[in-house]
Structures are given as structure tokens and as C-alpha cells.
Structure 1
Amino acid sequence: MRRQITACVGLLLGLASPLLWASAFSVVFINPGRSDEPFWRSVTRFMQPAAQQLGIELEVLYAERDHLKMIELVQQVTQRRRKPNYLMIVNEKLAGGEMLKLADRAGIKTLVTFSTFEGAQVAEFGQPRQKYRNWIGSLTPSAAEAGRLSALELVQQARRLGVVASDGKVHVAAIAGDKATPTATQRLAGAVRAFAGDSSVVLEQVVYGNWDRARAREQAQALMLRYPQLNAFWAASDLMAYGAMEAAEADGRTAGQDLLFSAINNSPEVLQARLDGRISALAGGHFAAGAFGLVMLYDYHHGRDFRSEGLQLRPQLFLLLDERRARVFLERFGNEDFSSVDFRRFSKHLRPRLRRYRFSLRRELQ
């Protein structure tokens, strides 16, 4: 039996790239979402083939939308006998600071992803590699761009379809995420600026759905009663958009016809809703930040430090997912199998002539 096991292991090692096996290292990612949540599930599934192609031992721990559990998970990781080489965290509900302190004391190099420090947190934690030496950098998609893109497209679609109020204007209600997470506040800020720049738009009210479908449904019910001329809902996530749509349909409205909705995400469900016309404006692509963070760690681990490009990168990962892109995305990745993406082409270590990262999914969605 032992010989059979040894033979199987030997075969696997023989088939694997010697370079990758020789340079394998470990990364723990603290996923702030729920394990069954479409967006955070897609983040993990996109990271897995990247880790496999780059020879990274990846472990994903879910906090199930509990920011205190995120801190607890990091504490558990720091107390392990065999600590990971790297930790990836998200500054969800501003919990990133406490996680960073724990990791720094344990000597674990840390990359902050998706949502980094803003405002008062910058004054407290400074910049990477200064006060906290093991905080090596951050990779944060431009959340404000997601808000701007989806807001502009929502208004454009309302005009195209003639979904305006009796005053000829588009009356919008915004369902934001939460008041603490920088990504949430930046998405909202991008949308609010876009609406404010258009005199034909009336932003009636902003509410905070806390990323919850049921809460967004209740809020949408109240907003439709309060503002009878409401034409559109801007939502910071697909789940909150679904909740608002459920409220609208219960009130006899038709999503995509007399009441329009926008969303931010790229789950198969929301992509199909975009194709069906129930979602009129959709931005997505930021789920790739986790995998691209692994590419940065891979390069850093092999001596290609990203310092020359900046310690806090803000790539334009968000794309407006129109009908064509939504269809291509569903055809290529509808089952959330991302193994066909060549993550090695993004690596500066594997492509020595590459001077700047080109993190984007435009090529995959052509």
C-alpha cells in the first residue's frame, strides 16, 4: 500500500512543473463573506486556478460576514505552529487594522486587498512597510469607478427607454452597502457624483442595505411609498438589487420596464438578469482582485517587488457589463470554472519584460 501511495505522489510530482514545486509557498486569505455568497464565492473560485498555476498553497477561511470573526481567524492563524508565508486580508467594517496588528506581531507578511485603509485609519496605520513592517502593500479596485459607471449607465438606460417622471427627470433611490467599509462608501460616492453632475437626475434618498437582500426589500418598499415618482434604484450589490426588485414586483411594477435597477457584481444570476433586461446597468470584474493579489505575492516572493510600481495599487478592474460582455462571461465562466485563464501572463517574474501590471479581464471578455 505504501508503495502505491509513493508511486502516485511521484507521478504527481513528475507531472507538475519543477519550478512551481520548488518555489511553492503558502497564503491564507481571510474571506469576509459567506461561503455561499455569490460574490465572495467567485473570489475564491477565481483564486484557486491562479494558486494552482503559480504553485501557491492557498487556504481560504470564511468569516461569514462577521467582522469580529475575521479578527478571530487571524488570531488563530498567528498561533499556528506552521504559519503561512503570507496573509491576505480585507478591511471590511474597518477590521483590517486589528488583523494587521496581529499579523505584524506574528511576523506574517500581509497584503490588504479589495478594501484598504482610508481617512482616520491612514493616520493610525500609515503606509505599507513603515510603522507595520510586515504590511507589504495593498491591491484595491477603484470602487468609486464602479459606482460611477453603473450610475451613468442606469440614467442612460432610463432615457433610452423613456422611463422618466412627469417632470421629465429620472428619480433615483440609492441602496448602499454599509457606512464603514471603504469600498462601500467609495461606490456610493462615485454614484452620487455621477448623479449630481446631471441636472436631469433627482437623487431622492440614500439608504444602507448592509449587503442584505431582505433588508433591501423592506427599504425599497418604504422608498416607493415615500417617492411615488421613483423611476430607478441604484444598488451597491446584486443581492440588494434583487431585494429591491422583489419589492417592486410585489407592488405591481416591472423590473426593466417601468422601474429600472442597477447592480455591481458578476454572478451568473445577475449576468442573466442583465441579459433578460431586469437589470439595466451592471458593473463588475473586481472579484479578480484576490487572484491578482496572488500574482503580486508570487512576484514578491521571487524577488520582483512591486515597490517600483507603488505599494498601494488601485487597478481599474471594474468593467461595464453590457449585454455582449454579460453573454461572453456566461459562456466562458457561467459555471465559475476559471481554469482557462492564464494567470502566468500577468506575472512580472514569469514575464521579465513586463514593467507594469496589466490586471484586467478585458481580454477574456472580448
Structure 2
Amino acid sequence: MKLTRKLSLRNYVRMTRKVITSALLLSPLMSSQAGAEFTAPSMPIQNIVFLNPGYATEAFWSQMIMAASVTATSLGMTLETVSANRNTDEFLRLGTKIMMRKNPPDLLITTNNHGLAIPILATSDATGVPVMIILNSLTHEQLQDEGMVVGRHAYWLGNVSPNHQQGGHDTMQALIERHQILHGKAEGAVIALVGGQHDEASRLRLRGMQDALRQAPYLYRDRTFQANWSYEDAFRLVDRYVKHQGSTLPLRVVWAASDLMAIAAIDALKVNGLRPGKDVLVAGMGWTDQGINHLRTGELEASAGGDALAAAWSLVLLAALQRGVITSEALGTRYYTMGLATSAAPDSYLDEISMETLALKPMGHWVEKVANLPDSASPFLPLPAYQSSTAKTLGHKPLTSAMEGGKREK
């Protein structure tokens, strides 16, 4: 049985803190400073490690790594990527190993996937290696336990995350508008595909989807499936749903929290003789190359994106912090707008400029402008998409876990 299953997260954090602190006090690195209080690292921060929870070869993570690497170079930083390949135990082991190196990095950038940021922050406390969290901010429950960014964890610099709730809302809104064009206000069933049970990104995207769906009472969310950001899981779940659908209403909409799961749904629908984009409308999130290609064919109706640029944006904010453009208190938690692309205009999100081209632009010129940008802004994405959204203001209220087979109460 895995260690993370044997122990509660709180006990695991305590054990991690104790083991790491003991190891540090016995190591040559700390022998001359035993018992000394940790102090903030000296600037500048140049050597950075990105601890990737996924595979470096996956479309989403490869986009993120490419954008962050080019941005780091343009800012005079070096970026090393270490991937955990979707193994939670390996993720924690690598995080500890990186921060306990003889020559540790000046900064570790990572995510809160599966709620694992807390052990990482405990290791940061013990080693003095600063941490920046991207994509998945701390959950409501974690924030209650851990306090705010500038507080309990001295080396936790902050969070940089896309506005997941707005992205989830806008993709569902696009599906509703397309459904009205094709089917008017005819009743239909909706299924949702979400990621990990404890991922804040998944929860917030689902919440945004729910906010939009409430405006279309003729569409009923019949099931929410936890597909774990996986093509295989999403395909299996949609295929089984279509074959054994219990709803008396026809399936009209599949909303997915990622392009990968949306593409899996498209493939499962086609295997079962349904026409994506006509019989059933599908939306995803991520702006992967495959997702944009499916937008062009019309099989995918909408995709919200910009999340793959979170690491790059965090480096720009870090550079602004180092140059005194913003303070550490001003960094805090930043949610930036996500853009929306639809099948009607699949390239509008970048004015027909590919994400690769955008990611390769030097980002240094944005550093001095950071202080004048609203918190919801990102230099990579246009503001109008966010301003036109009717998504509610972000909050950290807990959501019911999105488990397979969970039904919406009418």
C-alpha cells in the first residue's frame, strides 16, 4: 500500500518535516548553522526547477515547459524540468530530493495536483528553498489549515493560476449558445468529465460550468464523471454511458475540463454512431494542438486556454518581484483570464498566431508593466474574453467531490 494511503496528509506532513529537518541538521550543508532560523534567500533567483506532476511528452505539459523555458532564457534565468509521470509518490520523493540537493535551486515551481502542495511546503520550510505554486491553488480546506500566502510558510512566494471558474463557465456558455442554434430549447442530457477529485482546477472549472448551466433549465446534467485528466478513463466512461444511458433525455452536451478528455469523448461518441458537433456538442479546455484541430473540424465546439502559460507568467512576476516592481505581498494569489476559442473562429484566440509563436516571444518587456496590470490580466491573453464573461467572482467555497455517477438534483 502506498505511503500516502497509509497516513493522513497531516501526519505525513509532520513526518516529512521531522525527517528532513533531522537530515539537514546532520548534513555538512547545515552543520555550521544548526539551530539557526531560516532567512529569506538572497536575490537574484536564477536557477529554477519546475517539478512537473505529469509526463513531459504530454501535449499540455510540453507546451507549458516550452513556454517557461523560453521565458526563463529571455529573463536571464535557467529552468530545469523534473517530471513525476503522474506518480504521486514519485512527485513527493522528487520534491524532497530537489530541495535537499547539495546545491539546491533558488526556486521550485510546482502544482497542487491531488492536494500535494502541503508536503512540498513542509519541505520548503525545512530546507529554505522558496516555492511558487501554479495552476492549482490551495483548496479551501488547505487555506483554512495553512493560512494565507504571507504567513505560515516563510518560503511560499505565492500562487499563479488561470481563472479556471471563468474558463469552465465560458465553455459551457458556448455549448448552450450552439445548442440553441441547432436544437432551440429542446431538452437534453449533459455529462461532465472532470480531473482529479482533489484538484482545485477541476473543482473551479466544474463550478463555472454549473454557473452557466443554471441559465439553461432545459439542459440537465445527468452525470459527472471523474476521468482523472486521462484519455483512457474519459473514453471508457463516455462509451459506457452512451451504451447504457439511463436518462430518458437524449445526450446533447459533453463538457470536459480538458481538451484531452474532450477528444476522448469525441472518439467514444463516434464509435457509438453519434456525430460530435451535430448530435452531441463537446467542449474542452487547454488549447492543445489536437484540441484546436478538432475545433477546425467542428467536432469540438469550444476550448478555453492559456493555462499552459502559467509557469511562464509566474517567471515574469518573479522577475518583477526581484526588480522591485511589485512586492511579495502584492504577488499573493493571481488568477489571470483564460481566452475562449470556438469552432466558428478557432484561431481568434491568438489572432491567427500559433501558441508556439506566442510562447517564443521574449517576455522581459512585460516585467516593468506588471505593476500597472490588473490582477486578472495576463500579457499572453486578451482582456475582452474575461470582461465579457458573466462568471461569478472566484471564491474558495468547498465543492462536493465530483465522483463517477454523481447526479445533479433537479
Structure 1 and Structure 2 fold alike (TM over 0.5): yes
Q: Tell me if 1:70 matches 2:112.
A: no
Q: What letter matches 2:378 in structure 1?
A: F
- Retained in 2: the 8 A contact 1:177–1:210? yes
SS of 1:324's partner is coil
What do the CA deviations read for 1:140-181 (whole angstroms, capped 9, x no partner)? 2111111101111111111112277xxx12321111112111
Q: What letter matches 2:284 in structure 1?
A: A
- Retained in 1: the 8 A contact 2:71–2:315? yes
Cα distance in 1 between the residues matched to 2:283 and 2:373: 36
What do the CA deviations read for 1:37-72 (whole angstroms, capped 9, x no partner)? 111111111111111110011111111112222211
State the Cα distance separating 1:200 from its structure 2 match.
2.1
Given the alignment, which residue of 69, 72, 89 partners 1:51? 72
Q: What letter matches 2:380 in structure 1?
A: L
**Residues 109 and 84 (structure 1 numbering): CA distance in 2 closer, same or farther, change over 3 Å?**
same
Q: What letter matches 1:290 in structure 2?
A: A
Q: Tell me if 1:222 matches 2:222.
A: no
Q: TM (normalized to structure 1)?
A: 0.85
**Residues 352 and 259 (structure 1 numbering): CA distance in 2 closer, same or farther, change over 3 Å?**
closer
Given the alignment, which residue of 312, 315, 332 partners 2:333? 312
Cα distance in 2 between the residues matched to 1:195 and 1:352: 35
Q: TM (normalized to structure 2)?
A: 0.77
| RMSD across aligned positions (CA) | 2.4
What do the CA deviations read for 1:242-287 (whole angstroms, capped 9, x no partner)? 2111111111111111111110011111101101101012111111
Identical-residue share of aligned pairs (%):
21
State the Cα distance separating 1:308 from its structure 2 match.
5.5
Matches for 1:111-122 after TM superposition, within 5 Å:
111-122=132-143
SS of 1:256's partner is coil
State the Cα distance separating 1:123 from its structure 2 match.
1.9
SS of 2:162's partner is coil
Aligned residues: 338
Q: What letter matches 1:153 in structure 2?
A: A
What do the CA deviations read for 1:71-125 (whole angstroms, capped 9, x no partner)? 1111111121111111111000000100111122110111111111112211221
Partner of 2:361: 341
Partner of 1:177: 195
State the Cα distance separating 1:338 from its structure 2 match.
4.2
SS of 1:291's partner is helix
Partner of 2:390: none
Cα distance in 2 between the residues matched to 1:215 and 1:328: 29
SS of 1:262's partner is strand
Cα distance in 1 between the residues matched to 2:321 and 2:175: 40
Q: Tell me if 1:359 matches 2:360.
A: no
Q: What letter matches 2:287 in structure 1?
A: N
Partner of 2:353: 332
Partner of 1:197: 215
Partner of 1:207: 225
| Structure 2: tracts of 5 or more residues without a match | 1-42, 386-410
What do the CA deviations read for 1:280-305 (whole angstroms, capped 9, x no partner)? 12111111111000111112223334
- Retained in 2: the 8 A contact 1:25–1:55? yes
- Retained in 2: the 8 A contact 1:178–1:184? yes
Cα distance in 2 between the residues matched to 1:355 and 1:244: 38
| Structure 1: tracts of 5 or more residues without a match | 1-21
**Residues 197 and 352 (structure 1 numbering): CA distance in 2 closer, same or farther, change over 3 Å?**
closer
- RCO higher in structure (CA 8 A, sep ≥6): 2
Cα distance in 2 between the residues matched to 1:256 and 1:325: 14
**Residues 131 and 37 (structure 1 numbering): CA distance in 2 closer, same or farther, change over 3 Å?**
same
Cα distance in 2 between the residues matched to 1:339 and 1:274: 21
- Retained in 1: the 8 A contact 2:284–2:302? yes
Partner of 1:86: 107
Partner of 1:274: 295
- Retained in 1: the 8 A contact 2:341–2:349? no
State the Cα distance separating 1:339 from its structure 2 match.
5.2
Q: What letter matches 1:54 in structure 2?
A: L
Cα distance in 2 between the residues matched to 1:135 and 1:154: 38
Cα distance in 1 between the residues matched to 2:276 and 2:373: 46
- Retained in 2: the 8 A contact 1:207–1:219? yes
Partner of 1:257: 278
